[in-house]
């Protein structure tokens, strides 16, 4: 709660400081909408922050404050938008601004003296990520700031312009030399001394002007050029010849300028490239020099000459139909350039562009100076076919005829193969192209066609020749080629212009007659068409015009627009007009030889000569009389701004126009002012002069009443008495002044103004000392009613007798009760108020003082004054409040024995604390007198305690008492049994047991969980049978530790498995078989077959380990096949013993004792033991079957592996 209150107080102080000091605090923060539902801005927002989102600017308004972009902001200009941001738009580093629009207008002007960009960074800040997609945008920086980009000393950021009309001006509006501004920022890019980061221009019409030393586009005065990429648009570097695109003037040229398209008027500080080739400026003049013609076709390139197409997006003509493109330094014939001014012009017969280049003769892009005029540029539709006058060339009918040795050019976008005809193959024809397909050179045949030769005079109509086929029935087509052309202009349309044309005849492939393939005949396949020039005949005349009418631009008259002045031949070429002697008017002729500058109206003798054209011969000079008469009109006079009475004559400057032309004072007109001193309506009469003699005009303006300055002063402060009030006004003011006090209480009657002054005396009311005086002026003819400043005036009061305090001592202890205060002395009967200078030590309510904390304080008593006396006060001596004493009792926690004397506090109780106070002891520690276990043990303070808490300053620490506590026995460390495995055999020797762990040195006792398997005497364990058991070990405790026990994991005792040294082997029907087991024969128990015991009468047991011999009478019971037996001993059993019966005695189906016949396996079938065997054991003594021996060896290996695994597992456990 306290933090919240402090925050509110701090905010009030900040706002108050801002209002008093002029410090501006943004009071508006807008939240952006979505692209479908943007936030609408249609009124002044002041200093505002726009957070991420979409905003739409609507209507005509001025925003009086800088807009700050925070995050990613999109500004959308409505078509009706005409918005001025007075203060500009801040888009600093790491923020994004995107401007969208069509015809909506946005003007952003940074506030003077801030060093900020019009759109971009503040002073010392780089510009953000700024994208302009459309709209009419004007951005002007403060001095040293860029128009768009960085503030003073800030880099430009990342700027992308995709469209729109963009004007960017650096610095402020103070003119510099060459029309540049005094600030050193770039028009687009870095601020003064700031570098450019990245500028990309893909479209739009852009005009940029930097400061004196800053680039128009790029770095500030001492800033680097960075990266500038221009892919399209019409870009004008408006700073003059000394300005550039790239680095600032104080920086050694650096950075890179990459141009892939666009019209760029301006030089680059470093070599411009397209990423591959160096580029040089080439100027193209379109048609008759029309401005504003837009190149709508994007990506039209130079045919087969450069690595990438040249972009023409948003390129428009300027400066008399010119565009400025950058080409590589290579030989480009003018006819190699492909460009279109509109979609329609792609196929227009009349599409042509005049070319002005800085290249060598006949080329574009080199450094030497040359001009190619009236060069026709062919128009490429796409990358696969060539269109000119509607004719398409495609294989196989596209043919070339080269009658003389000259160069014929094919383009890379024509598809082959092409047939080239000549009198001898491969001579006289040079093909200037790449990737055009196969060229088939052919010789012509004879007597194919006859061609008439024609000579005619130019009349503007097509002239065709007549062709008659002589042989064959193929289709015949005639093509016309101008002599000396470097392009085979494939057209079937007859020419109309003057000149000599070669007519080439082409027939369809495969025209046969009498076994001959007729193509083009030698001497008969070409002919000549000559169109001679006509003769130009012009005629003179006379005409009269009124000075300043529609033919005039200011005082300049365009003679070429006066069709009535001359009768000009339709075939006439370039017109040259001259001003001849003999006329009464005065004027001069411009260098263009067609514009007459009229100085004085009258008659002018005009001469006309027309140049020879491609189709006509020049005619003789003719003259005509031009009469220019004065223009009598009612002048248009601009409205005059009202003024205020000053006592002097007002002579405002007037703007006078005749039509749209602004006229000059004392040349075209004179002025006469009337009634222009006093308040009322003044008149300006305009009388025409010179070329406007006889014209008149009149304009009135208003002289408003002035607002007079009225100053009120007051003198005299003693009480009782009076104050003298004086009102001072302008010296020529008349009328009266009325004086007031309070809100509207008059001081006497109105006082007349004499010599600019009025005065009155005022005696105050007895009970009132403070007054607010004002004076109100009545006004007169030339001055408005006016109210003076407010004058505050106070009367002085007397002082009372001295005041004394009573009831207060010099020392108290914290916790003392209430104290009653009193006073003596004073003069009035006014109320007495008491106050403490230290409310942390003492507070006062009425005349009751309460001690609230330790410290020092004084008491001040004040007796109120009255009408005649001021208040009187007295302050006591210094009073000291001493701290109270606090005692504590500590109860320790009981603990488990840990060998240490440390003790922890369980609870603490206190005496001597006032209710509501927060104080405690901390920082100390307690400990037992010894570390042994026991009950009611003494605990003492080890490290001293101190007081802590919110109210600690009011207390001192007294006695600390510590109670007794218990130490109980601890648990020993974990006990572990050693020397014990988890698997044993019944034959294993006794095991010695041990333990690890525990804490004491007590006696260890061991017990077995199953004495039928294992018994323990002391620490010796003896295996007595098969089965499972566990061992429990117990270590005795002592005074400080309990006993500790542990129980082992389950231990398993298995029977011993004895190895079979030799098997029964093979029995073929007679005799006995014997097997040998590696075991003591005294431990033999019985012989088992298929889980059943075999009667001991059927076998014998002999010494030699244990040898078991099966009797013949018993063997006769087994069917042919393999049989398995197991010998059991008192402490284990054998491995399985194998018997192979290969032939049973015929008819012997009897059984031995203990073995039933029906319990024996069938002949050849394995018994159950064989079915479940995991390995195959070798057959002892059987050497007649190698496979049986191999199987037995493998079985032995597996058995050995299993025994190793069991032993390894036992050791691990």
Tell me, letter by letter, the H, E, C secondary structure of 784-821.
CCEECCCEEEECCCECCCCEEEECCCCEEECCCCCEEC
pLDDT tier, 912 (very low <50, low <70, confident <90, very high otherwise): confident
At residue 470, does pLDDT exceed 80? Answer: no
At residue 1025, does pLDDT exceed 50? Answer: yes
Higher-confidence position of 66 and 365: 66
Are the folds of 535-629 and 1058-1204 the same? yes
Closest CA to 739 of 709, 707, 771: 771
Side by side, the strands of the sheet bearing 842-845 are: 819-820, 848-851, 842-845
Most confidently predicted of 284-293, 357-366, 528-537, 745-754 = 745-754
- What fold is seen in the domain 803-882? Immunoglobulin-like (2.60.40)
Nearest-10 Cα torsion for 992, 998, 999, 1002: -40
**Which residues neighbour 1057 within 8 Å (Cβ) at sequence distance 6 or greater?**
1132, 1133, 1134, 1135, 1203
* Three-class DSSP labels, 126-162: CECEEEECCCEEEEECCCCCCCEECCCCCCCCEEEEC
pLDDT tens-digit map of 1131-1170: 888 999 999 999 754 444 433 333 433 334 333 333 443 3
pLDDT tier, 526 (very low <50, low <70, confident <90, very high otherwise): low
C-alpha–C-alpha distance, residues 732 and 709, integer Å: 12
Question: So what's the pLDDT on residue 426?
Answer: 39
pLDDT tens-digit map of 797-812: 778 889 999 999 999 9
Compute the mean pLDDT over every residue in the chain, rounded to the nearest whole number. 77
Q: How far is CA 201 from the centre of its chain?
A: 18
pLDDT tens-digit map of 248-284: 888 888 889 999 888 899 888 888 888 877 887 777 7
Give percent of the chain above pLDDT 90: 43
At residue 923, does pLDDT exceed 50? Answer: yes
C-alpha–C-alpha distance, residues 102 and 569, integer Å: 46
pLDDT tier, 627 (very low <50, low <70, confident <90, very high otherwise): confident
**Which residues neighbour 658 within 8 Å (Cβ) at sequence distance 6 or greater?**
548, 631, 633, 635, 636, 668, 692, 695
pLDDT tens-digit map of 314-336: 888 788 778 788 877 644 433 33
Rounded to a whole number, what is the distance in angstroms from the first to the last CA of the chain?
Answer: 68
CB 1117 within 8 A of CB 1138: no
Taken in order 176, 182, 184, 189, is the CA torsion positive or negative?
negative
Burial of 64 (0-12, 13-18, 19+ CB in 10 A): middle
Taken in order 1080, 1085, 1086, 1091, is the CA torsion positive or negative?
negative
**Which residues neighbour 1117 within 8 Å (Cβ) at sequence distance 6 or greater?**
1150, 1151, 1152, 1155, 1157, 1160
| CA distances to 293, 323, 365, 380 from 285, in Å | 11, 7, 16, 19
CB 881 within 8 A of CB 858: no
pLDDT tier, 922 (very low <50, low <70, confident <90, very high otherwise): very high
C-alpha–C-alpha distance, residues 417 and 1052, integer Å: 98
At residue 598, does pLDDT exceed 60? Answer: yes
Q: How far is CA 1061 from the centre of its chain?
A: 88
DSSP codes, 291-321: TT-EE--TT--BTTTSSSPPB-TTEE-BTTT
Side by side, the strands of the sheet bearing 669-674 are: 643-644, 696-704, 680-688, 669-674
Supply φ then ψ for residue 528, to 5 degrees: -125, 135
Please report how many Cα atoms fall inside a 13 Å half-sphere around the Cα of residue 447, on the Cβ side: 4
Higher-confidence position of 211 and 476: 211
Q: What's the CATH number for 535-629? A: 2.60.40
* Three-class DSSP labels, 1059-1096: CEEECCEEECCCCCEEEEECCCHHHEEEEEECCEECCH
Question: So what's the pLDDT on residue 467?
Answer: 59
Q: What's the CATH number for 975-1054? A: 2.60.40.1080
At residue 728, does pLDDT exceed 80? Answer: yes
Closest CA to 677 of 708, 646, 633: 646
Higher-confidence position of 293 and 820: 820
C-alpha–C-alpha distance, residues 504 and 492, integer Å: 10
At residue 512, does pLDDT exceed 50? Answer: no
CB 1081 within 8 A of CB 1105: yes
**Which residues neighbour 303 within 8 Å (Cβ) at sequence distance 6 or greater?**
336, 337, 338, 380, 411, 412, 413
Most confidently predicted of 317-331, 416-430, 538-552, 612-626 = 612-626
Closest CA to 85 of 115, 119, 116, 59: 119
C-alpha–C-alpha distance, residues 958 and 949, integer Å: 16
At residue 451, does pLDDT exceed 60? Answer: no
Q: How far is CA 754 from the centre of its chain?
A: 72
- Where residue 1039 falls (left for φ over 0; alpha for ψ -120 to 50; beta otherwise) is alpha
CATH class of the structural domain 636-704: mainly beta
H or E element that contains 1199: helix 1186-1212
Cis peptide bond upstream of 418, omega within 30: no
Closest CA to 195 of 161, 162, 164, 159: 159
pLDDT tens-digit map of 551-569: 788 788 888 888 778 888 7
- What fold is seen in the domain 1058-1204? Immunoglobulin-like (2.60.40)
Question: So what's the pLDDT on residue 1187?
Answer: 53
DSSP codes, 393-439: --TTT-EEE-SSSEEE---TTS-S-EEEE-SSTTSSEEE--SS---E
pLDDT tier, 868 (very low <50, low <70, confident <90, very high otherwise): low
CB 115 within 8 A of CB 90: no
Higher-confidence position of 433 and 815: 815
- What fold is seen in the domain 711-794? Immunoglobulin-like (2.60.40)
Q: What radius of gyration do the chain's Cα atoms show?
A: 61
**Which residues neighbour 164 within 8 Å (Cβ) at sequence distance 6 or greater?**
99, 101, 132, 133, 134, 135, 136, 137, 204, 205
| Helices vs. strands in the chain: H and E counts, helices first | 4, 118
At residue 1177, does pLDDT exceed 80? Answer: no
3-state class (DSSP) for residue 1208: helix
Burial of 986 (0-12, 13-18, 19+ CB in 10 A): middle
pLDDT tens-digit map of 1043-1063: 999 999 999 988 888 899 999
Higher-confidence position of 976 and 361: 976
Ranges of each domain in the chain: 28-273, 281-380, 383-532, 535-629, 636-704, 711-794, 803-882, 884-968, 975-1054, 1058-1204
Most confidently predicted of 179-188, 205-214, 525-534 = 205-214
pLDDT tens-digit map of 114-126: 899 999 999 999 9
CB 200 within 8 A of CB 280: no
Closest CA to 1136 of 1096, 1097, 1088, 1093: 1088
C-alpha–C-alpha distance, residues 170 and 189, integer Å: 10
Question: So what's the pLDDT on residue 1102?
Answer: 93
Question: So what's the pLDDT on residue 618?
Answer: 82
Question: So what's the pLDDT on residue 722?
Answer: 75
pLDDT tens-digit map of 679-720: 999 999 999 888 888 888 899 999 999 999 899 888 876 565
3-state class (DSSP) for residue 995: strand
Taken in order 372, 374, 378, 379, is the CA torsion positive or negative?
positive
Burial of 654 (0-12, 13-18, 19+ CB in 10 A): buried
């Amino acid at each position: 709660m306290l933090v919240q209150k402090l925050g509110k107080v701090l905010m009030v102080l900040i706002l108050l400081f801002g209002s008093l000091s002029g410090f501006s605090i943004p009071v508006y923060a807008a939240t952006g909408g979505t692209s479908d539902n943007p936030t609408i801005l249609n009124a002044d927002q002041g200093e505002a922050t726009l957070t991420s989102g979409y905003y739409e600017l609507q209507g005509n308004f001025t925003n009086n404050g800088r807009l700050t972009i925070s995050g990613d902001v999109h500004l959308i200009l409505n078509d009706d938008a005409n918005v001025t941001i007075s203060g500009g738009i801040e888009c600093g580093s790491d923020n994004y601004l995107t401007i969208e629009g069509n015809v909506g207008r946005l003007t952003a002007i940074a506030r003077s003296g801030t060093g900020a960009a019009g759109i971009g960074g503040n002073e010392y800040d780089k510009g953000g990520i700024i994208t302009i997609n459309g709209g009419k945008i004007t951005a002007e920086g403060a001095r040293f700031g860029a128009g768009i980009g960085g503030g003073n000393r800030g880099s430009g950021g990342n700027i992308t312009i995709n469209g729109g009309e963009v004007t960017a001006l650096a610095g402020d509006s103070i003119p510099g030399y060459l029309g540049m501004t005094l600030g050193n920022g770039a028009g687009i890019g870095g601020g003064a001394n700031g570098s450019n980061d990245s500028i990309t221009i893909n479209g739009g019409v852009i005009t940029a002007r930097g400061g004196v030393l800053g680039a128009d586009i790029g770095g500030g005065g001492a800033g680097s050029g960075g990266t500038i990429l221009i892919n399209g648009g019409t870009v004008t570097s408006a700073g003059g010849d000394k300005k550039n695109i790239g680095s600032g003037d104080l920086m050694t040229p650096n950075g890179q300028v990459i141009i892939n398209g666009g019209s760029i008027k301006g030089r680059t500080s470093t070599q411009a490239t397209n990423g591959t080739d160096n580029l040089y400026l080439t100027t193209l003049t379109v048609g008759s020099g029309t401005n504003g013609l837009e190149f709508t076709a994007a990506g039209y390139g130079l045919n087969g000459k450069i690595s990438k197409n040249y972009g023409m997006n948003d390129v428009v003509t300027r400066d008399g139909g010119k565009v400025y493109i950058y080409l590589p330094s290579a030989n480009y014939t003018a006819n190699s350039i492909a460009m279109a001014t509109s979609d329609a012009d792609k196929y227009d017969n009349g599409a042509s562009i005049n070319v002005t280049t800085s290249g060598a003769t006949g080329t574009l892009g080199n450094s030497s100076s040359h001009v190619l005029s009236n060069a026709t540029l062919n128009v490429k539709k796409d990358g696969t076919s060539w269109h000119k006058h509607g004719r398409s060339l495609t294989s196989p009918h596209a043919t070339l005829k080269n009658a003389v040795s000259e160069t014929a050019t094919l383009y890379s976008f024509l598809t082959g193969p092409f047939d080239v005809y000549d009198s001898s193959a491969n001579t006289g024809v040079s093909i200037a192209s790449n990737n055009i397909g196969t060229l088939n050179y052919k010789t012509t045949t004879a007597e194919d066609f006859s061609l008439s030769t024609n000579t005619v005079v130019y009349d503007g109509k097509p002239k065709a020749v007549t062709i008659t086929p002589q042989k064959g029935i193929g289709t015949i087509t005639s093509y016309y080629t101008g002599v000396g052309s470097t392009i085979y202009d494939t057209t079937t349309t007859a020419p109309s212009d003057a000149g000599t044309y070669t007519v080439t005849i082409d027939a369809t492939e495969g025209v046969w007659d009498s076994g001959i393939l007729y193509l083009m005949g030698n001497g008969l396949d070409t002919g000549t068409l000559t169109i001679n020039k006509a003769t130009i005949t012009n005629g003179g005349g006379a005409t009269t015009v009124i000075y300043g009418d529609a033919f005039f631009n200011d005082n300049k008259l365009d003679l070429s627009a006066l069709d009535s002045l001359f009768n000009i031949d339709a075939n006439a070429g370039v017109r040259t007009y001259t001003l001849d002697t003999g006329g009464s008017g005065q004027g001069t002729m411009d260098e263009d030889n067609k514009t007459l500058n009229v100085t004085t109206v009258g008659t002018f003798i005009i001469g006309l000569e027309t140049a020879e054209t491609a189709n006509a011969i020049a005619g003789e000079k003719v003259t005509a009389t031009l009469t220019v008469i004065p223009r009598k009109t009612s002048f248009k006079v601009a409205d005059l701004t009202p003024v205020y009475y000053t006592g002097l004559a007002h002579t405002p400057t007037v703007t006078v126009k005749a039509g749209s032309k602004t006229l000059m004072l004392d040349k075209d007109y004179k002025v006469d002012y009337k009634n222009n001193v006093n308040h009322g309506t003044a008149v300006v009469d305009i009388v025409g002069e010179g070329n406007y003699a006889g014209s008149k005009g009149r304009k009135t303006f208003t002289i408003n009443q002035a607002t007079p300055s009225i100053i009120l002063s007051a003198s005299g402060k003693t009480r009782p008495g009076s104050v003298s009030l004086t009102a001072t006004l302008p010296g020529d003011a008349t009328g009266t002044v009325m004086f007031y006090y309070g809100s509207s209480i008059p001081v006497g009657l109105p006082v007349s103004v004499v010599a600019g002054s009025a005065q009155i005396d005022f005696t105050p009311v007895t009970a009132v000392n403070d007054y607010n005086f004002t004076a109100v002026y009545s006004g007169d003819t030339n001055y408005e009613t006016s109210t003076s400043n407010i004058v505050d005036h106070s009367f002085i009061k007397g002082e009372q007798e001295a005041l004394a305090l009573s009831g207060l001592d010099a020392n108290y202890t914290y916790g003392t009760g209430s104290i009653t205060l009193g006073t003596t002395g004073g003069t009035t009967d006014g109320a007495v108020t008491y106050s403490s200078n230290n409310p942390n030590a003492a507070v006062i309510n009425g005349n009751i003082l309460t001690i609230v904390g330790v410290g020092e304080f004084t008491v001040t008593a004040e007796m109120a004054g009255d009408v005649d006396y001021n208040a009187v006060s007295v302050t006591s001596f210094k009073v000291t409040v001493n701290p109270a004493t606090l005692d504590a009792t500590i109860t320790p926690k009981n603990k488990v024995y840990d060998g240490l004397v440390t003790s922890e506090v369980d609870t603490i109780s206190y005496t001597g604390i006032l209710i509501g106070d927060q104080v405690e002891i901390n920082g100390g520690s307690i400990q037992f007198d010894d570390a042994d276990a026991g009950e009611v043990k003494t605990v003492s303070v080890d490290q001293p305690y101190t007081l802590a808490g919110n109210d600690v300053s009011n207390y001192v620490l007294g006695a600390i008492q510590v109670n007794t506590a218990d130490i109980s026995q601890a648990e020993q460390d974990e006990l572990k049994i050693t020397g014990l495995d988890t698997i044993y055999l019944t034959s294993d020797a006794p095991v010695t047991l041990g333990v690890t762990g525990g804490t004491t040195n007590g006696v260890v006792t061991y017990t077995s969980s199953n004495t039928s398997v294992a018994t323990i005497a002391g620490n010796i364990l003896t295996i007595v049978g098969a089965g499972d058991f566990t061992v429990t070990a117990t270590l005795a405790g002592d005074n400080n530790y309990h006993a500790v026990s542990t129980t082992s994991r389950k231990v398993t005792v298995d029977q011993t498995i004895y190895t079979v040294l030799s098997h029964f082997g093979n029995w073929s029907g007679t005799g006995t078989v014997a097997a040998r087991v590696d075991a003591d024969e005294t431990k033999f128990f019985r012989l088992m077959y298929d889980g059943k015991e075999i009667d001991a009468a059927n076998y014998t047991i002999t010494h030699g380990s244990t040898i078991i011999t099966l009797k013949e009478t018993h063997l006769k019971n087994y069917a042919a096949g393999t049989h398995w037996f197991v010998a059991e001993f008192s402490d284990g059993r054998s491995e399985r013993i194998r018997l192979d019966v290969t032939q049973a005695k015929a008819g012997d189906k009897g059984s031995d004792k203990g073995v039933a016949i029906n319990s024996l396996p069938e002949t050849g079938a394995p018994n159950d033991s064989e079915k479940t065997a995991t390995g195959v054991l070798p057959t002892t003594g059987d050497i007649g079957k190698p496979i049986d021996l191999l199987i037995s060896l493998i079985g032995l290996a597996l058995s050995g592996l299993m025994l190793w695994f069991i032993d390894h597992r036992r050791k691990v456990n």
